[in-house]
Amino acid sequence: MAKSRIKLEYPGTNGLKIAAILETPANEPKAYALYAHCFTCGKDNMAASRISRGLVAQGFAVLRLDFTGIGASEGAFEDSNFSSNVQDLIHSADYLREHYCAPAVIIGHSFGGAAVLAAASGIKELAGVVTVAAPSNPKHVCKQFAEHVDTIKEHGISDVSLSGRPFVIKKQFLDDIAGQNQDEKIRKLKTPLLVFHSPVDQTVRIIEAEHIYNTAMHPKSFISLDKADHLLSNAKDAEYVAQAISAWVNRYLAR
């Protein structure tokens, strides 16, 4: 099925430009979706691309963005934080609302999943919120650079290696995630929630999904990703996520 792929730029947190890709089906989209990538991954990450294209094949238009300081978006990674990620999502929803159609579903992978849970209250048109391999609290990400946390707290900054790539983490990042009341945001979620997680995820344990699910109010659903790894490296896992999201959210779009 023919579709369009448009590169976009629009103002994000602190006026910095967000780089995004909007993919649409050949026919009128049944709804628009907003996709948030995992920590340091970017919009062109394999899981992000595969899930988005899988949703396009199901008739959705999908916007996936690079958070501030990541990929082609403006800003320095070390000056970004969880709050800026959340604001980038809200700015992206605003852009869609103004130029296309407000997103009906917001999807977040890993750290991006924590961000969509926090951003959901700021997007009134949502019919569904989806997390994939997400931690229940953004503080969980500190495990990826645990050996540097004391240095960051003492000196205010440190070079770290994440997935084999160099990054800089500042104390403001730690302070920001420490100040989040994620449980309250999950508990007050007024939008249907779908939680995906793999029982063999070695990066974010399935107990995190359990906490999200138990904290959220109904309507909520959980789908096990069986043998999938954290990054959904197997294309079939990403395709399954897209198909399941489509089937699940269709129920709420009809309301």
DSSP 193-241: EEEEE-TT-SSS-HHHHHHHHHHSPSSEEEEE-TT--TT--SHHHHHHH
The reported pLDDT for the residue numbered 204 is 97
What is the average per-residue pLDDT within 129-145? 96
> Is 0.85 topped by the overall pTM?
yes
Domain annotation covers residue 162 = no
What is the average per-residue pLDDT within 156-183? 94
Domain annotation covers residue 69 = yes
The reported pLDDT for the residue numbered 65 is 98
* Residue 84 near residue 68, CB atoms below 8 Å: yes
Domain annotation covers residue 103 = yes
Residue type for 252, please?
Y
- Asked whether residue 238 carries a pLDDT value surpassing 80, the answer given is yes
More confident residue, 164 or 188: 188
Give how many domains the chain has, as a whole number.
1
Sign (positive or negative) of CA dihedral 239, 36, 67, 104: positive
Instruction: Please list the alpha-helical segments (H only) found in the chain.
Output: 46-57, 82-99, 111-119, 149-155, 171-178, 182-187, 206-215, 235-253
Domain annotation covers residue 201 = yes
Q: Looking at the DSSP assignment, which residues form a beta bridge with residue 11?
A: 17
What is the average per-residue pLDDT within 195-221? 98
- CATH number of the domain at 220, please: 3.40.50.1820
Domain annotation covers residue 176 = no
Q: What is the pLDDT of residues 30-89, one digit of tens each?
A: 999 999 999 999 999 999 999 999 999 999 999 999 999 999 999 999 999 999 999 999
* Residue 42 near residue 71, CB atoms below 8 Å: yes
The reported pLDDT for the residue numbered 255 is 66
Range of the domain at 193: 3-138+182-253
Domain annotation covers residue 68 = yes
Model confidence at 222, pLDDT cuts 50, 70, 90, reads very high
Domain annotation covers residue 11 = yes
